Structures are given as structure tokens and as C-alpha cells.
Amino acid sequence: MDIQGKVVLITGASEGIGAACAARFRERGALLALMARNRANLERVAAGNGLVIAGDVTADDDRRMAVDATLDRHGRVDILINSAGAGLYAPAWQAPLDTVRRMYELNFFGALGMIQRVVPHMRRQAGGCIVNVSSIAGKVTLPWLTLYSASKYALGSLTDGLRMELRGDGIHAMSVCPGYVSTKFQDHMLMGSPPAKVRDSNWFRVRPEECAEAIARGVEKNARTVVTPRAGWAFVALERLFPGWIDRRLEAIYRRGLAS
């Protein structure tokens, strides 16, 4: 898809990957609609060049408002980037269910709600692209992030199904699976903290600007899945080929984290 002149609606656009996407897609000539709860940060990201929509992606009224405002301003939505998300560091058998539900409302149901709002319009215009920001943790389960991994696996499966459901309508769906992105992700944890070895390592670390560039290129190429950094593909392949070995390596990191 040629991004020039396309209308791009981005959730979680006030910082991190969402904000970086705003910059990269603006450079390619896109018209931006930016959604997040923090209006001040959104104004900074928009820099006077984009529609600012202060709203909570977990609230259906706010999702409707965001899509309606974008349509009122631009008349269409060509690309939806579901970037809003949060993590949770806690054993699956121990995490409070209300906290888990909060995470799923943001990571999965918020994205699904936005998709259900924009797809009817994309079908009428006979084209569009849905980008769901998942994680390498949505390809390989990380035991210190089991429930987050599960939410991202669900988002990836949703994306694959949408691609098949909507191909006949000219709508493409793409998963994005970043490694450890240098953002304020840790500051927004719903619970817990990562093992020190994970927090301090450079394994598959990527800057948000690099991730956003990979997303933009993926949209241009109609990619099915974008893994960034590309070295993350090797990790995914190893898990497929040697799942027991990867399990033991990840478990060792997890156990050391518990002991520290």
C-alpha cells in the first residue's frame, strides 16, 4: 500500500511505538488521527499536524468517538494501527483476575473494538489495512510474562483470521512482533517487574523509531508479519525447532529472577 495521502488512525499514539509511528507515517505523507488518554502528550506528538483524540481505547463510546472524528475530518480510514497496550509481570496462577481482565481489555478487546468500528467503513471504500502491534512474546511465551504473552498470542491469531476473512474486501491485516522496545513500557506495568537479566540485557532490543520504520515498510509491502529486530525471527525459529531447549533456557532466566 502506498502511504502517501492515506488516513491513518493510531491508538496509543501519545508515546512509544504509537508516537514513533505518527512521525514515520507523517514523513510518508499520511494524514494522521491520533488517539490516547493523555491529550498533552498527543498535542506534542501531533505538533499541529494531525487530529488529536483524547480517549480510552477500552471504552466503546471513546472508540466510536475516535472513528467518527476521523471520518468527520477526513471522510475515510485507510490504516488502523492498534498500538495501545500494557504488560503484567506475575505468575499466571497467582495474578489477580481483575488485573488480568484490565490487561485483556486493553491488549485484545480494545483492539478488537477498534477493528469492529473501522472495518465497515473500510469495506465500503473497498480497501484498508489493519496493523496490530503484538510482540515476540506473542510468538514465544516468556514465563515472566505468561499472561501478557497469552494476550498477544490472541491478538496474533485474531490478525491471521482477519486477513482471511477480509482479503476479498481488499482489506489487509498485519501483525507486528517487536522485541524489547526502549519505551516507557515498564513504567505502565499493571503489576510486577521483569527479571534483572531481561531488564538490563540488549536481547532483541529495538528503538521505537526502528519499530515504526519496520511497520511502515510492512504496510507498504503488504507483509503478513513484521518481526523487529529481524534477529527475532531466529529466536522464533529456534523455539519451533527446539521447543524443549528454549523452554529450559527461558525457565532458567525466570528462576534466576525469582531468586534475585
Active-site residue flag, 104: no
Calculate the CA dihedral of residues 99, 104, 106, 107 and round it to 10 degrees.
130
**Identified catalytic residue from 148, 153, 180, 254:** 148
Cα 237 from Cα 154, distance rounded (Å): 19
Closest to 84 in 3D by CA, of 129, 17, 151: 17
Cα 82 from Cα 116, distance rounded (Å): 12
Calculate the CA dihedral of residues 251, 252, 254, 255 and round it to 10 degrees.
110
Q: What is the CA radius of gyration of the chain?
A: 18
The angle at the Cα of 209, spanning 12 to 51, to the nearest 5 degrees, equals 40
Rounded to the nearest 10 degrees, the angle between the axes of helix 16-27 and helix 208-221 is 50
DSSP summary character for residue 260 = -
Catalytic residue positions?
148
